[in-house]
Structure 1
Amino acid sequence: MALDARAFTAFESAAHDRIAGRYAEHFAPLTGLALGSLLDAVRVAAGRRVLDVATGPGVAAAAALGRGAAVTGVDVSPAMVALAQQAHPGVEFRLGDVVALPFRDGSFDAVLCNFGLGHFPEPEEALTECVRVLAPGGSLAFSWWDQPVRQRVQGLFRETIAELGVPPHPDVPQGHDTFRFSAPEAFAALLRGAGLRDVTVTEHRTVHAMPDVEALWRAGMGGMAITASAIAIQDEATQARAREVLARRAEAHRGPQGLEIPISYFIGTGQKT
């Protein structure tokens, strides 16, 4: 089925508008796991002009600002942009779609995207735009999740949905593969296809500690706009069953201090000629 890119972007924007505050509180600690490696990959430092694409609540942009860079963040969700502006006044935030960035050619020394790639319905066009706004010799770094069998927050929720037989949210346009780039070969091919050189894709694995199932539930429901929408639209009884199934499955990751959730992701980098 051909994907309606505009409809998909509109769904994503509206969904992230609804969850913006919860995302910042409960899911940003997960995406923050990649920040050090992501910024290091493009040598974010004082004086560097940095664009943070799909900035969300602005966590990556703020981290780049903390290293002394001149930072701009852009996101398709108005609520996310408003939240980021309030939280990080030292960064310039703009509303915009990754396939039509509101910047001139060569405006930035580095382009970042922290876990936005799988939300782009037109990834090739998105990468072309990101490369366009890079200055010659500039660097790009994108992070994206590994498969759910190793990225267990996503995995636990998807397995819960499958066990209950919960259908996708009816308003989610079909035909998008969230995990298309959860394979290093496909990720690298995307970067090379955009004309980048010295492309690398590195795997990162860690464990994210959560005190209990409630924290896991809040992270998933507050951060995974597409996956969680299948549960969020259900009645209270079905949502309660989903929590029970999630709790049972999460016991596999029980540790001395609570839940110890395996997390795996990739960082892909490249340089503009």
Structure 2
Amino acid sequence: MKDWVGVGEAYSASYAALCAGTFPLLQAALGAAHGRTLLDVGSGDGTLADAWATAGWMVTACEPEPSMRAVSSARHPRVRVLDGALPGLPFADGSFDVVIANFVLNHVATPRTAAAELRRVARSAVAATTWTLSPSWLWAEVTRRAVLAPLAGQRLPESEDFERTAEGFEGMLRDAGWRGVGVVEHTWTWTVAPDVLWASVEGGVAGAGALYAALDTEERQRFRRAFDEVVDERLVDGVLPLEHRAAIASCSLL
């Protein structure tokens, strides 16, 4: 749903590390590679795809944003990255043993249709994640202190939307045809330097970056002052310990 055009470098230098925090639980859910093939849909800068390759999987990455593919190819050259997007992936039914989508279904316009598409191209298992406590909580606090209107997100049609909880995510996936889906909730703390977070804003990453890009000069100054206030209150030994939480779903097709 958010516009990610041109943010590959900024995303890779910031939120890529946060989003990779789901890898241990995804790996536990899917088991050892044993030479199996894996498709990483919405692979971003390739951080997670490269982690799967390191774990022994035969990985194909699929990412629609050119700047993300460029960063992925430069930093993770052993991972083949293709142009493709949900809900119409350019693969035949059952093309890959396992298909994953890490923090993708919370961005697409048709989550149920997209989830069904993930299942279509998977042969033995499919897995996906979504935020239940996303990075937006921090930026909502900054926006409030800056006395700015929050970015108005585009609402999904009722037929496609889902409650952003583990239960809501599971229900949406069941509606999309995932049978025997299991969902666990994972909480972890991302420790990040303030300048990394601020670079993500100036780089246009996610909702905070889109909001900042739309502000005038005076509003940007207020936003920066509010950000510095929040940082001063939360800083521990030079970094920000920020709690995040995600629902991690997996489903065996065998």
Q: TM-score, normalised by structure 2?
A: 0.89
Asked if 2 retains the 8 angstrom alpha-carbon contact of 1:65 and 1:71, the reply is yes
Q: Does 1:218 align with 2:204?
A: no
Summarize the Cα distance change of 1:223–1:27 in structure 2 as closer, same or farther, 3 Å threshold. Answer: farther
How far apart, in 2, do the equivalents of 1:139 and 1:67 lie? 17
Which of 180, 192, 198 is residue 198 of structure 1 equivalent to?
180
Give the counterpart letter for 1:218 in structure 2. Answer: A
Deviation, 1:127, is 0.9
User: 1:224 deviation in Å?
Assistant: 4.0
Confirm whether residue 51 of structure 1 aligns to residue 39 of structure 2: yes
Residue identity matched to 1:67: A
The structure whose residues are more often helix, as a share, is 1
Identity of aligned residues (%): 28
Aligned match of 2:20: 32
Are the aligned partners of 1:114 and 1:142 in contact in 2 as well (CA < 8 Å)?
yes
Matched residue, 2:149: 166
1:78 is the counterpart of 2:66: yes
CA distance in 2, matches of 1:265, 1:223: 23
Name the CA distance, whole Å, in 2 between partners of 1:110 and 1:44.
12
SS at match of 2:242: strand
Q: 2:230 maps to what in 1?
A: 249
Once residues 110 and 219 of structure 2 are traced to their aligned partners in structure 1, the CA distance between those partners, rounded to angstroms, is: 33
Work out whether residues 26 and 223 of structure 1, in 8 Å CA contact, stay in contact via their aligned partners in 2: no
1:3 aligned residue: none
Relative to 1, partners in 2 of residues 1:74 and 1:251: Cα closer, same or farther, differing over 3 Å? same
What is the correspondence of 1:116-265 to structure 2 with a 5 Å cutoff?
116-135=104-123, 138-147=124-133, 151=134, 153-163=135-145, 164-166=147-149, 168=151, 174-176=154-156, 180-211=162-193, 213-220=194-201, 222=203, 224-265=205-246
| Cα drift, residue 257 of structure 1 | 4.5
Deviation at 1:118, TM superposition (A): 0.9
Distance 1:155 1:83, change over 3 A: same
Deviation at 1:236, TM superposition (A): 2.8
Structure 2 regions of 5+ residues with no counterpart?
none
Contact persistence 2:4–2:205 (CA under 8 A): no
CA distance in 1, matches of 2:215, 2:204: 17
1:165-188 deviation line (CA, Å, top 9, x unaligned): 23537xx7x3249x9452011100
Mean Cα deviation higher: 213-222 or 224-233: 213-222
Alpha-carbon distance, 1:160 to partner:
2.3
The question of whether the paired residues in 2 share the 8 Å contact of 1:27 and 1:223 is answered with no
State the 1:223 CA deviation.
7.1
State the superposition RMSD in angstroms: 2.4
Cα distance change of structure 1 residues 250 and 182 upon mapping to structure 2, 3 Å threshold: farther
In the comparison of the two structures, how many residue pairs are matched?
251
2:7 maps to: 19
- Runs of 5+ in structure 1 lacking a partner? 1-7
